[in-house]
Amino acid sequence: MWQENTDPFGTAFTVSVDYKTTTTGISAYDRATTIKALVDPEAKPEDFFKPGHCFPLVAKDGGVLERNGHTEASVTLARLAGEAEVAYICEILKEDGHMARRPELEEIAKEYDLPYFTISELQEYCRSFASSRSEFVNLPTDYGDFEIKDYGNGNLVIKKGEIAKNETVMLRIHSKCLTGDVFGSKRCDCGHQLHQAMRRIEEKGSGLILYLNQEGRGIGLTNKLRAYALQDQGHDTYDANLLLGFAPDERKYDVAAKMIKDLGIKQVQLLTNNPDKIKQLEEAGVEITDRLPLEMAATAEDRRYLETKRDRFKHMLVSL
């Protein structure tokens, strides 16, 4: 398998498989057998031939609020139905072999009396559902008094003061880092950045932190710990992700852009050193009036990590 996913849509393909009792694996019957085996919680890796004819995909934890994809849409539907978070998806083809698009799919839905909706409609439902079940509540902290609100799928909004809709808002978009934010890990600067952002927003008197459920630069806690093991063997954080089959940075900020829009914010001063974050947000229509650096003094434990962020991720770190 290729170490870095270059699929233009960021689809998280894994190793293709066939179940061990199938013949060629290509028939509809064989594929159905493989799919049933894939969803069996008792199935083991050795139960499958590799490569095969079924392509397992990995959905983002945040579902359609994190990634605008069919993978996430199918898993979000399963989650909303209260079922196991697994689904089977396939493309529908026209008679000429080309993929059916929205007009053709609408006709098929009418002909066979099938429910039909778009991913954007599912996203709107999830956002309204998340907003309806949570309001801002008080959050007194060591850095000042804030308010916090659940946005759904593990994403949070932390607010200081009243945010006027015509105001340029100081904003920190912070991806979850359990080890740094909670346990004070010295392997990274994540916890320090979060706390410094809270201090600066407190000093200004108003601002926002969007806390995104993107642990381990989007690869999740378990894989982050696996990456740590590779780093302990001498690999840097960039290469460790590649060796695990991920992109160096799997994070997406479209959910943050949607949160900003939902909050009625027009312009932001962004607390960041990350050029990719700026690029993604601007492409999503967020107007960034200023970039506010958020640098910490390097320590013996995190210096190599920070140098990798500067040299390989091109983070704008000037104090190293």
The answer to whether the annotation marks 272 as part of a ligand binding site is: yes
The answer to whether the annotation marks 141 as part of a ligand binding site is: no
Catalytic residue among 199, 249, 302, 312: 249
End-to-end CA separation in angstroms for the chain: 36
- Using the Cα atoms of residue 319, residue 175, residue 266 and residue 278 in order, give the sign of their dihedral: positive
The answer to whether the annotation marks 173 as part of a ligand binding site is: yes
The answer to whether the annotation marks 90 as part of a ligand binding site is: no
User: Edge-to-edge, what's the strand order for the sheet holding 287-292?
Assistant: 137-141, 144-152, 155-160, 207-212, 168-175, 267-271, 287-292
* Contact present, 272 and 294 (Cβ < 8 Å): yes
Q: What are phi and psi of 27, to 5 degrees?
A: -70, 160
The answer to whether the annotation marks 217 as part of a ligand binding site is: yes
- Residue 126 amino acid letter: C
Q: Catalytic residue at 47?
A: no
Name the residue among 291, 246, 261 with its Cα closest to residue 2. Answer: 246
The answer to whether the annotation marks 89 as part of a ligand binding site is: no
Half-sphere exposure of 149 (CA within 13 A, CB side): 18
Q: Catalytic residue at 310?
A: no
DSSP 238: H
The answer to whether the annotation marks 126 as part of a ligand binding site is: no
Distances (CA, A) of 179 to 87, 153, 315: 31, 20, 21
Q: How far apart are alpha carbons 154 and 173 in whole angstroms? A: 14
The answer to whether the annotation marks 177 as part of a ligand binding site is: yes
β-pairing, 168-175 with 207-212? parallel
Catalytic residue among 18, 251, 262, 290: 251
Helix axes 119-132 and 254-262, enclosed angle (nearest 10): 60
The answer to whether the annotation marks 54 as part of a ligand binding site is: no
Using DSSP, how many helices (H) and how many strands (E) does the chain show? 11, 9
Length of the chain equals: 320
The answer to whether the annotation marks 188 as part of a ligand binding site is: yes
Gyration radius of the chain's alpha carbons: 22
The answer to whether the annotation marks 174 as part of a ligand binding site is: yes
**Residues marked as binding for Zn(2+)?**
177, 188, 190
**Residues marked as binding for GTP?**
172-176, 193, 215-217, 237, 272, 277
Active site residues: 249, 251
**Residues marked as binding?**
172-177, 188, 190, 193, 215-217, 237, 272, 277
